[in-house]
């Protein structure tokens, strides 16, 4: 394992990847992680179109070559025809983590009834955790605030790098073992 945690940030968006607008969602993930983490980490950033083979290739590279212990995707989780991020994620994962999607939808339901349209999931490829977030920048922080408290312990359980967080920003939880 690397000393410094490598964390993949994968933005999946036809329009952002074509340069039609700026990738605010990928930036929102990076700045949220900078807020949370006090231990050293390095983002590995990718921006691609909503094409299932491209998403699968990017996820495999981020895990297998870039050695990311965590990959966070944004975009492609809705019901539009081109939204295929959850399918690509499931295809590259060995085991699924249904609790992440359940909690993010439950959390988003407090704000909008259309939260149930979000098909986002999470799973494990080898010793890495892959989490789908929705594409809207304002939903990024909401969703990460809900699930990130469990992320450092999840990575501990897969023998990944020790992620340390700022307790004034986010209360992560590691059970006494």
Q: Which residues are near its own copies by CB under 8 A?
A: 78-81, 83-84, 86-87, 95-103, 105-106, 109, 112-119, 121, 124, 127, 129, 147, 149-150, 153-154, 157-159, 171-175
Q: What is the DSSP string of the chain?
A: --SSEEEEEEEE-HHHHTTSS--HHHHHHHHHHHHHB-S-EEEEEEEE-S-HHHHHHHHHHHHHTS--SEEEEES--SSSTT--HHHHHHHH-SEE-HHHHHHHHHHHTTT-GGGGG----EEEETTEEEEEE-S-HHHHHHHHHHHGGGHHHHHHHTT-----B-TTT--------
Q: Compare residues 38 and 116 and give the one whose CB is closer to its own copies.
A: 116
Quote the least distance from Cβ 163 to its own copies, whole Å.
14
CB closer to its own copies out of 23 and 83 = 83
Q: Which residue bears the tokens 């897969």?
A: 158
Minimum distance of its own copies from residue 106's CB (angstroms): 8
Place of tokens 């809705």: 78
State the minimum distance, in angstroms, from the CB of residue 143 to its own copies: 12
Q: How far is the CB of 89 from its own copies (least distance, A)?
A: 12
Rounded (10°) angle between helices 137-147 and 98-108: 120
Compute the least distance from the CB of residue 70 to its own copies, in Å: 12
Residue 29 or 93 having the CB closest to its own copies: 93
Which of residues 4 and 174 has its CB atom nearest to its own copies in the complex? 174
Nearer to its own copies, 18 or 116 (CB): 116
């Amino acid at each position: 394992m690397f000393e410094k945690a490598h964390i993949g940030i994968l933005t999946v968006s036809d329009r952002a990847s074509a340069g039609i607008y700026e990738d605010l969602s990928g930036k929102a993930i990076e700045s949220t992680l900078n807020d949370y983490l006090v231990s050293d980490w390095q983002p590995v950033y990718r921006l691609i179109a909503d094409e299932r083979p491209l998403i699968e290739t990017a996820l495999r590279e981020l895990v297998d070559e870039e050695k990311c212990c965590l990959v966070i995707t944004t975009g492609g989780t809705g019901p539009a025809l081109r939204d295929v991020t959850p399918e690509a994620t499931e295809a590259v994962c060995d085991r699924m983590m249904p609790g992440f999607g359940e909690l993010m939808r439950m959390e988003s339901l407090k704000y909008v009834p259309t939260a149930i349209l979000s098909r986002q999931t999470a799973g494990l490829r080898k010793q890495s955790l892959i989490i789908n977030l929705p594409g809207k920048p304002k939903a990024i922080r909401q969703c990460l605030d809900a699930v990130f408290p469990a992320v450092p312990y999840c990575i501990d359980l897969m023998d990944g790098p020790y992620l340390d967080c700022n307790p004034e920003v986010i209360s992560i939880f590691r059970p006494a073992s």
